[in-house]
Every structure is written in structure tokens, then in C-alpha cells.
Structure 1
């Protein structure tokens, strides 16, 4: 058993490791895409303004301007030619077409940003960026103010609107006293300083707000809110956790499913022994505990099958052997009756005749029992490929009702008169209904009703009597061979105890079932089998 659990646990461990690796790769790819989209929204405008600033200078002044920006932003910035950039052919093509490229690196949690310097086809601005920080935010505000300062006052608002299209966060000009800043912060701005605020709550993503003096107008240039990049947001972790749990459940099921399938096969074999005594050997592979158990089940099934076969053979042999002495006994009783009539004193003859008649009844009952045993045993020899054909079940029930009405003239048997075509073995179905009707006639007080109906996939025969009924707890036991009910239904039957067992076996041969339905009075039996 240990080897089974070792295989299961090792398979599940391997599955969990695979899921963990897939989750790592998945979240890395997602974050790489998210980082590229994020920086495209919040950093593209800043780097574009830096590149435009470089384009306005040449030679030493260009390098000095770049060094000033590097010092203010604290970023690793450089100017390179296209050939010097570490790009693939696809990335190079994208940079040439869009003049801007973000190359995210999830391992180092940073991005390489490349921007074409305007009007200088051979120069590209290269920089490394992890996230939007305070120095970069300050420089962004200064670059925007510098761009506005290069334009006449009357066009600056229009230029500000044009610059807004480059940034993924709001840019606006507001009155300093309507900004919501505290007094100390306003004083800093009046001195020419730029104020950067970080707002963070437990339930919300951290954001940056930038406030810079808008020249000497007394107004403010505001940037933000600028969201900081969250590598592991709650919704992403929740989705990843849900996918991981789903994959783990699926892989666990796949690990256990083969074991479940093998156990199911053994269950089916044991069930087949219980229902029909059939034997089908389980295909045993491997040498684990389940395989050993399957071998034991095969051996046990073979032994049980042999015992059942021996029981059937014994029943048939005993029944056949008993038929001969019963026949001889009947013949000798007939001879004894003739001798008694010839030599017996007429005064004592009635008593002798009563005794002889009693013996005849006992012999008849014994003969009937033997016939039922033979019939019950013969059903075991019928396989699932028995002959079946369409037949008129309505005519069969009418014939049976007429025959039983002669035997039980005090009973009223109602049956359908319309034709009812069914499919099955006519002889066996007739025998099953005959047993149910005979059983009902023995216990009914006055009326018996036969109902025939069909659904889209079933034939259903229902027989209702107004007798004493059967307790609910005995509903299943009554179909067992030789089971007798200790109630008024058994007081006068004289039955063999095999009639209902034969009905159930015939129903099983037709892949159907026989059952006792709940009823407020009397007994209601039903036999149903599927349509072809």
C-alpha cells in the first residue's frame, strides 16, 4: 500500500511543483506586460521631453544638458546609436516605427526605455527605470514648465492641453489656494520649491501628487494622481490563486482517477456476483497493493461463482430426482384409492377418502414447489441475448385475467381492452405478470386492477389488489427466494415463496426492475423494462 501512496504523493508533489513553476512564469509574463503598459502611460511623456531637450542642443551642450537631467532624475541615461542598442530585429523595427520602446525585465524588476532623439536619426536616448519616484516626478514637472516657458503666454494653456496627450495621468493649472495644500507646503512653493506628496492607504494603491509653481502667476502646475507600480496586486494574486487551486484539483483528480477506476472495476465484479452470479476476471497489472487486492477479489469471485454454480446444479439435480418419486407416489396413491374403494367398509370410506385427498393436496403442493424451483433455476441459464420480439401485451393480460377469473370467480379483475404493443420475451413477460396476478388473486378481497402504460423509454405494468397489504420494511425482502411474510397475506397462500423472485429475475433479464409501490390499502406491484 505504501508504494501506491508514494506514487500518488510523488505525482501530486510533482504536479504542485509544476503549478508553482507555471505560476512563476505566468506572473512574470503578466508583470512584464503590465510594466510595459504602466511605463508607457506614466514615463513616455517624460522621456519624450528629455529627448526633445537633447535635440535642442548640440555637442558639449547636449552632453551637459543630459548630465543635468541625470543628476536631477537620478536615472542611468545615455545617448547611443541604433547599432549600439541591445535589441532584437523585432524590437529594432518597433523602435524605428514608433520612435519609442519599452523593454521590461521582470527578473530585475526594471525596464529599459529607448527614445529617438528628434531630428537626429542616428541618436537614441537610453535609460533604465524601475518606477516613478520623487526625483523623476520633480523633473517631469520642470520639463513641462520648461516646455510651457518656451511658448508665449497666450498659447501656454493650449500647449498644456497638447502635453496632456503624452501623459497617462492628469496635468492641470490650478489656483494655489484651491489646491488643498497646507500652509507650510504653500510657503515652500512660494519660495520656488516643488512639492511631491505620496498618498497611500491600506485598501488603495499608493499615488504621487506633484505641485510646482507656475511662474510668478501665483498658480500651480499639478501632476497626478500618478499611481505607483504594484508588482503583486490583490486581484492578480486572487486570480493566480484560483487558477492554481483549480489546476491542483484537476491534477489531484487525474492522479487518483486510475485508482478509482481500478476500484470501480472490482466493485462491478462483486456486484455482478451479487445480482446474477456472473464471473468476469479483473485484468491485473502491476504488483502494488491494489493489484494484490484485485487478485484476491478474482480468487474470491471464482470461488463464489463455483459455489453458486454448484448450488444451481444441486438444486436442479435434487428437483429432477424428486420429480420421479413424487410421480410414483401419485401412481401408488391412485392404486391405494382403488383398493380402499374395493375392500374398505363403506362406513369408514369417507374418512379414508378425506385422508387420501389430503395426501393428494400435499403431493400437488410439493409438485408445484419442484416446478417453481426448476423454473427459477432455469432462468439463470438465460443470457442477455435471449430472444425478444414485439407482442401484444394487452391480449396477454386479457387472457390471463380470463383464466384466473375461472379459478377465482368471486374476484373482479379489470384490465385494459386497447391493444398494447411491447417488446421483450413474450413467454417470460407473461410468466412474470401471471405470477403477480396469481399472487394478487390469493390475497385480494374483491377487486384487482391491471394497468398498462408506457413512457418515452419504459414499458410499465402495474397490478393493484385490495388485500391486507405489505409492510414497507418488507418491500425489498419479498423478492428474495423462499421469503415468507408472517402476516395475513401468508395465512392462506400455500405459495412456494419463489413467485416474486421469478418476477424480479425476469425483470433483470430485460434490464428492468420489479418493485412494491407505496399504497394506502392493499398492495401495488410494478414491473418495468426499457424500450429497445
Structure 2
């Protein structure tokens, strides 16, 4: 994966994490604000509704005024906003907060507004509710107290129970405080409770609704769903570039399948498919080269086969008209030579095709290069007795003679160079081994006319010959040097041609790494 793409991807993922965190935080804050406001109104609504239904709450609950600034005011005298006034008109219980603290409001049937000022909403509502419950239970007769407790619990949305068992007793510090007070709040805002001491000395326990929780399972589920949605959209946007790049590669592949072999993918910088683009273009180059080689080979093979086939046909005609044994034998020998030439040509073509179309299965193994060179020199000396073939192998090269090669194909490459040099040499052919710890180099030099510099690269092309001869004397089909180059390619090396400084003719060189 490209490093620049990794940095860009990391930056995008970090930005995505920040975005998800920011979106979830904003949504959580907004939901928490709305839910907290709704919870405040739901908490204050039972007590405020109870007070609004009371005929004379100011006289009946006179003790609320000094404790909670309980007031009953005409709505027209209050400077309330239109939204609050509208909500009061519909019988709702808005809770407004200012610097002093929260204030619960409700309108009664006569149009007056009842307000209750609290320092802390949860504890204030709990204590005000407890005082109301305590007042009514003290006013009720013993026979009606249970029914009154049931009605109060239902109307004020609390739980009331008589403390008559040891398991229901509050903590000791609460009992100690309730001995000097009629009411003690404890438990905090998560689950507030109040212990009431009635006039007859009995204790009752009042449990308030649960306090506000900013994180609940529905909220968590909603945040997770929103985070997943944001992540899905963001990943879709992040993957858009990748999809476009893949579509580009796909379109080029379609063009190549239609025959547009020159189509290539424009490699982008720092994107995920840049390596894919380069590999795809390399594959397309290889396909185009193989197709061109195939076309060239078909054209050249048809041209190369035409000459020996024509000679064989002519020889057959001459055999039919031969009048003596000597003429017949001469024509038969010519046909046999032409068939051998066809066999050699087919062998060259098959070898070249095998090397061009992916190469043979090389089993590289350690072998002595100098021994192969000496073997080739001895073989070629027998085939070309008129040439003086010399192997020049310094002692330093003998030390590093062992190399990882495919002996059969390396033998073929050196043989092709030496045979080619013998065909064009006047007298001298020299095979020099230059081997060291890292690389192997073999130079094949001759004293022939050499290769013009402008043709140094051309001679390695398939079916390329610098003369126009097609006779048996010149020999060769223009495939020998192509085979040499492909053999060196599969050995991780290369072949090139130059001019021999000592003999004056051509110098062909093979260079490959000693160890694969």
C-alpha cells in the first residue's frame, strides 16, 4: 500500500472519528436538553396539578409560601413569553430556570397562575410533596389514613408505605435526623426518598420517581444507529475514489478485450490502485508484445519455410527426371539437407516461442560455468574446424566458477554466440570468462566484420539478420540471438553487443548474477 495513501487514509479515518464524535455529542446534548426539560415538567406536574385543583391552596397550604415562595398571580400581571402563556393555556406545567433557580408554573380554572420557586428541582419537589402528604395524613382520621395515603400516592405519583418492619427502616443517620424533624430527604437525585414522621409517631417512607438519566438504552441505541449511518455515508464517500479507479481499470480491460492493445491505465499518485495500475499496464505491455511477436513470428515463419519447401519441391521434380544414379543421389542428398534445415528451423521456433511466452520451468542449480564454456568450445571446434576457438579463463574466475544456472539453457546461449561468431569470423574466436563473487560475465569475440553500432539492438530481435542471404552457406534464421537474450532474461541477467578491442570484430557479452 502506498505510504501517501496510508497517510491520507489515516487522516480521513481520524477526521471521520472526530466527525462521528462531534455529531453524536451534538445529538446527545440536544436530546439531553429536551429530555431534561420534559423530565422536569413531568416531575413537577403531579404536585402542581394537585395544588391547582385545590379550591384555596394559598390558605390551605400557607406553609408553602415562606418555604418555596408559593404565589397565585393573575396571568396578565406576569411577563411571560407567548410560548409559556400558550402552554399554560393548554394546561401544561412549564418549568423555567433563571439565576435564582427553577420555577414551576401552572394555571387553574379561574385563569390564575400558581408558581413554586425551588432551589433544586428534584429535592424541592420531593420535600414539597412530602410536606403536602404529611399535612393531609395528619389531618385524616386513623380510619381514613390508609385511603388518603393511597389517593395521595396515586395523584402525586409517589410510593407511600408504612415503616413497620425492620427491613423498611432507613439508614441510622436518617433515623437520627427524623427524630428532630418531621421529614428527612435522602438517597440523592438518582432515586430520592423521604421519611415522614406523623403526629402519632409512626413513620412512612415516600419514594420519588427516578431522577434524570442522560444516557438510557433508547438514547444509546439511537446514537449507535446515527454513528453507524454517519460511518456508512463516510465510508461510501471514502470508497468512491477507489471505485472510480477500479472502474477505470475495468474500462481499460474492456478496451483491450476489444482489440485496443494500446489502451493503458493512467497511474495515479498515492492511491490504493496505483500498484494495480502499474501491474495492469505491465501485463498489457506483455500481452501486446506477445501478440506482436506472434504476428511477426507467423509472418517470418511463413517466409522462412517458403525457401526450403521450394527447394524440396524442386528436388522432387529433379528426382523424377533424373537419368543416372549420380544425379539421383545428389538430389536426394539436397532434399535430406533441406529437411534437416526445416527440422532445425522448427526447433529454433519452438525454443523461441517457449522462452517468449512465459519461459520454461527453470530448475536453477549450482553448476560450473567454466566447464560449460570448455564443453561448448570443444563442440564448436569440431563443427567449425576452420576457426581457431580459444577459451580464456583466468585463475581468479575458476574460484567463482560455480553459479546458480539452468545448465542446458546456459549451454544453448553460449553455443549460439560461439556458433554465430564462427560463421562470421575470419579465423579467430575467443571466449573469455570474467567471474567474481557477485556476477558472471562471458564475452564471445571474433575477428570478423563486426556489427554496425546502429544495429547493436536490432540483432537481438527475432528473425533479424543484417544480410539478405538465405543460402545454406550463411546459415541461421535470425532467432539465435533472440533466444540468447530470453535465456539471460530468465536468469535475471542481460545480453549486449559491442566491438572487440583485441580482435576488431564483434563482442557479444552475457552478464547475470552469480547467485539467484
TM-score under structure 2 length normalisation: 0.51
Matches within 5 A, 1:299-448: 307=289, 310-335=292-317, 337-338=319-320, 343=325, 363=342
Which structure has the bigger radius of gyration?
2
Q: Structure 1 residue 194: deviation in Å? A: 1.9
Describe how 1:260-299 pairs up with structure 2 within 5 A. 260-265=242-247, 267-268=249-250, 278-282=261-265
- Structure 2 distance, partners of 1:103, 1:184, is 33
2:204 to 218, 221, 246: 221
Task: Look up the match of 1:26.
Answer: 27
1:122 is matched with which residue: 107, 112, 122? 112
Q: Deviations over 1:230-287 (max 9, x none)?
A: 3345x57854764575356435524532332354246547867998883435579xx9
Q: Structure 2 regions of 5+ residues with no counterpart?
A: 364-516
Contact 2:195 2:204 in 1 (8 A): yes
Distance in 2 between residues matched to 1:321 and 1:86, nearest whole Å: 106
Q: Does 1:212 align with 2:196?
A: yes
Cα distance in 1 for residues equivalent to 2:174 and 2:346:
115
1:140/1:215 CA distance change after superposition, 3 Å:
same
Separation in 2 of the partners of 1:291 and 1:228? 52
Question: Is residue 56 of structure 1 aligned with residue 88 of structure 2?
Answer: no
Structure 1: distance between partners of 2:5 and 2:362: 49
| Equivalent pair of 2:192/2:209 in contact (CA under 8 Å) | yes
Shift of residue 328, structure 1, vs aligned partner: 0.9
Match of 2:104 in 1: 113
Tell me what 1:195 maps to.
Answer: 184
Aligned counterpart for 1:100 among listed residues 84, 92, 111: 92
The separation in 2 between residues aligned to 1:479 and 1:149, in whole angstroms, is: 109
**Is the partner of 2:104 in helix, strand or coil?**
strand
1:143 CA drift (Å) = 0.7
Give the TM-score taking structure 1 as reference length: 0.50
| Structure 2 residue aligned with 1:38 | 39
Q: Classify 1:367/1:198 alpha carbon distance in 2 versus 1 (closer, same or farther; 3 Å).
A: same
Give the direction of change, closer, same or farther, for the CA distance of 1:192–1:290 in structure 2 (3 Å limit).
closer
What displacement does 1:222 show?
1.3
Q: Which moved more, 1:16-25 or 1:298-307?
A: 298-307
Structure 1 residue 146, shift from structure 2 partner: 1.7
The CA distance in 1 between the partners of 2:80 and 2:17, in whole Å, is 37
Once residues 6 and 347 of structure 2 are traced to their aligned partners in structure 1, the CA distance between those partners, rounded to angstroms, is 58
- 8 Å contact 1:208–1:228 — kept in the other structure? yes
2:127 to 130, 138, 144: 138
Asked whether the 8 Å contact 1:132–1:228 carries over to 2, the reply is: yes
CA gap 1:269/1:121 in 2 versus in 1, 3 angstroms: closer
**Structure 1 pair 485–96 and aligned structure 2 pair: CA distance change class (3 A):** same
Pairing 1:158–2:147 present = yes
Give a deviation string over 1:182-233, Cα, whole Å, max 9, x none.
Answer: 566445445453233227xxxxx932221101330x4322111643323345
Q: Structure 1 residues 291 and 207 mapped into 2: Cα distance closer, same or farther (>3 Å)?
A: closer
Q: Secondary structure at the match of 1:100?
A: coil
Classify 1:34/1:293 alpha carbon distance in 2 versus 1 (closer, same or farther; 3 Å).
closer
CA distance in 2, matches of 1:113, 1:339: 132
Structure 1 residues 57, 197: CA separation in 2 closer, same or farther (over 3 Å shift)? closer
- C-alpha distance 167-113 of structure 1, shift in aligned 2 (>3 A): same
Rounded Cα–Cα distance in structure 2 between residues aligned with 1:30 and 1:181: 35
Structure 1, residues 112-155: CA drift from partner, whole Å, max 9, x if none?
Answer: 632223x432324265675412x542332111122334444433
**Residues 11 and 331 of structure 1, relative CA distance in 2, 3 Å threshold:** same
Task: State the secondary structure of the residue aligned to 1:123.
Answer: strand
Contact 1:113 1:129 in 2 (8 A): no
Q: Distance in 1 between matches of 2:28 and 2:255?
A: 54
Give the secondary structure class of the aligned counterpart of 1:101. Answer: coil
Structure 2 counterpart of 1:69: 67
Contact kept? 2:185, 2:194, Cα under 8 Å? yes
Aligned equivalents of 1:43, 1:151: Cα separation in 2: 25
| Inter-partner Cα distance in structure 2 for 1:278 and 1:257 | 29
Q: Distance in 1 between matches of 2:148 and 2:253?
A: 85
Task: Look up the match of 1:253.
Answer: 235
